[in-house]
Structure 1
Amino acid sequence: MSSLNSSSDRPLTSVLIPLYNHALYIVECLDSVLAQGPANIELVLIDDGSSDDGFSIAQRWKEEHGNRFPRIEFERQVNAGITQTYDRLLRKSTGNVILVVASDDVLMPESIISRLSLLGEPGVMAVFADAIPIDGQGKVTGTSAISELGQPSSRAALADQRTLPWELIFRWNVYGSVLLYRREAVLKPDGNSVLNLDIFSEDMQLYYLFGSRGSLRYLNQPVAKYRVHGTNTSHTQENVKKLRKNIYQSRRHAMIGMPFWRRAVVAMQAFTYHRWGTGWRKRLCLPMVAFAYMGILTARLIYDFYRTRVLRQARDV
């Protein structure tokens, strides 16, 4: 039995919280970390230049509950963005296992322990799961973010190692603070991050990277509550262009370690970004963008035939 499964010898888990303008939600988020039960947790929070009083609220919470953690560190910085804040949090942490929790999300009871059990299996470097959607007031609005929000993903396909990487490519639809991974999975031997820190967000980079390595597993249960509200980073109008570019750059970055056929499909997906261009460049690219979409559609039809007819997976999307 792996030590990750032993209640008396769990690895130190670093819970990292990038706080940004979530004064209304940060206490509930921190309380959910505190309520994780007999897990060995250090808590590191960085406020990324918020304009509200969320950091002051977090500091008061730390004064009241900080003695419950073997290590706790809260600090502020000038706004640096999601990926840079993530990298700084990672470098300030000391745990063997990493969990990044958005400051407006809420962890479910035993969220960490349930994922640690799967992380303890041979060859597994990262585990992700589902989330329960909630609104700005904390009201539950669904049962599965993966299958109900955005373009639904197949949970049956995610649970099968043969199709998990392809499902992430064709139906990227992961929400919330659901990814737990080993420290060495995100740091190179020289101590540098495996991420491209110039890209707006880190999530797609990580999932594609772990999926390409064959070290990612899906736990088919909710481990967090994902809050959908008007101030979600991904929902603000000012970030729409950044997010489009983020997807393009993340796909280009992720292609590096992919097998040939996955790389070909992701390259076509990345190329479709040019439909958002302007002027003569957009006009020149549009025929090729249309050709790329045809290639993506054909590949997805083949994939869906394979998973439903050959592998006999459930038709859950």
Structure 2
Amino acid sequence: MLLEKESAGPLVSMCIPVYNHQKFVERSIRSVINQSYANIELIIIDDGSSDLSRSFIQDLLPLCEQRFVRFTYIAQENQGLSTTLNTALEWSQGKYFSALASDDCILPEKTEFLIQYLESQPDCVAAFGSIYLIDDESRRTSTRIGSGRYSFRDVIMLKAQVPAAAGMLRLDTLRSVGGFNTNTRVEDWDMWLKLTSATNGYLQALPELVAEYRQHAENTLKQLDLMYEHQMKILQDYCECPEYTSAITALECTRFRNIASVRKKEALGNFLKLSCTLGAYKEIRFYQGVIHLFLKW
């Protein structure tokens, strides 16, 4: 049974950017339709899919028109995720904003739960629940439970565990920092840095499970290499910050840990370099890398 559109509480803008997820996109959209919170506007943007994603979206258009306070569907040539999210920001009219990848899902209470938290915590610029990890067949394989309040220092030091699929952000704050960075592939981390550096606010991670994040077989070391490169580039924007040197070390330790068990020669070079860096000895990821490098084959 569909929810009534009239609802107390602030309007929430939700965006589903879609790209070649014909197997998953229907489930993703239905998870938004099934939210217990009624006052939602939905923006679905197909970013140049070459598979049958658009067909699955079109089948759900009448249901979306009926369910949501405002609804739009945009089909465009491929422009990339950040540009697509910025298009959604231009269309949005809500107090809060949430994006959902078209292969992920949210649980029915997610919106209502996070709205209640944000309404009671005006200094929190973004709130995040915890997630189930799911496989390509949508089977739950494990959980990632988070809990904590994260400042700019926590974010730049890679200590903030905040899954984007489980998040809710203040729309006016998002706009005030210029929206999403179109020059990076780690737009979420870049956004958390901008939000916490430009305001006195914080990110809040909560232990309640509110979303399902899909892990794909193609999540490989190549992607980790790409993430490292883009994170290093983003850090250059914060080179005047007192945390800059420590943040570089934290990122290098993360890379060392990620490659230590599979690219031994490269990891050994990283180990020798980090061994001469005092800050590395404060990083648990350094010790995790040492274990992978010398004890796992």
**TM-score, normalised to structure 2's length?**
0.77
Is 1:251 matched with 2:251? no
> What is the CA–CA distance in structure 1 between the aligned matches of 2:184 and 2:205, rounded to whole Å?
25
Aligned to 1:152: none
Amino acid at match of 2:93: T
Distance 1:296 1:27, change over 3 A: farther
SS in 1 for 2:61: helix
Structure 2 match to 1:185: 173
1:220 is aligned to 207
Aligned to 1:315: none
SS in 2 for 1:199: coil
In the TM superposition, what whole-angstrom CA distance separates every residue of 1:225-269 from its partner, at most 9, and x where no partner exists? 1111235xxx2677555433222233334x3795x2x33322444
2:263 counterpart of 1:263:
no
Q: Which amino acid aligns with 1:169?
A: M
Q: Distance in 1 between matches of 2:59 and 2:124?
A: 38
The residue number in structure 2 matching 1:123 is 123
Can you give the 5+ residue segments of structure 2 that lack an aligned partner in the other structure? Answer: 1-5, 257-265, 285-297
- 1:125–1:182 contact (8 Å) kept in structure 2: yes
Report the equivalent of 1:311: none
Moved runs in structure 1, 4+ residues, more than 6 A?
A: 271-275, 286-289
Q: Which residue of 1 aligns with 2:148?
A: 159
Give the distance between the partners of 1:8 and 1:236, measured in 2 at CA.
43
Secondary structure of 1:51's counterpart equals coil
For 1:72, the equivalent position in structure 2 comes to: 71
Q: Separation in 2 of the partners of 1:174 and 1:71? A: 28
Aligned length: 265
User: Structure 1 pair 222/292, CA: closer, same or farther in 2 (3 Å)?
Assistant: farther
Contact residue 253 and residue 283 of structure 2 kept, 8 A: no
Give me the identity figure in percent.
25
Is residue 297 of structure 1 aligned with residue 280 of structure 2?
A: yes
Please state whether the residue corresponding to 2:94 is helix, strand or coil.
Answer: coil
Write out per-residue CA displacement over residues 10-54 of structure 1, whole angstroms, 9 at most, x where no aligned residue: 111111011011111111111110111233100001111111110
Which is further off, 240-249 or 29-38? 240-249
TM-score (norm 1): 0.72
CA distance in structure 2 between the partners assigned to 1:103 and 1:22 by the alignment: 6
Match of 2:157? 169
Distance in 2, Cα, partners of 1:214 & 1:257:
20
Counting strand residues as a fraction of each chain, which structure ranks higher?
2
- Structure 1 residue ranges without an equivalent (≥5): 1-6, 147-154, 276-282, 302-317
SS class of match (1:197)? coil
Partner of 2:291: none
Letter paired with 2:191: L
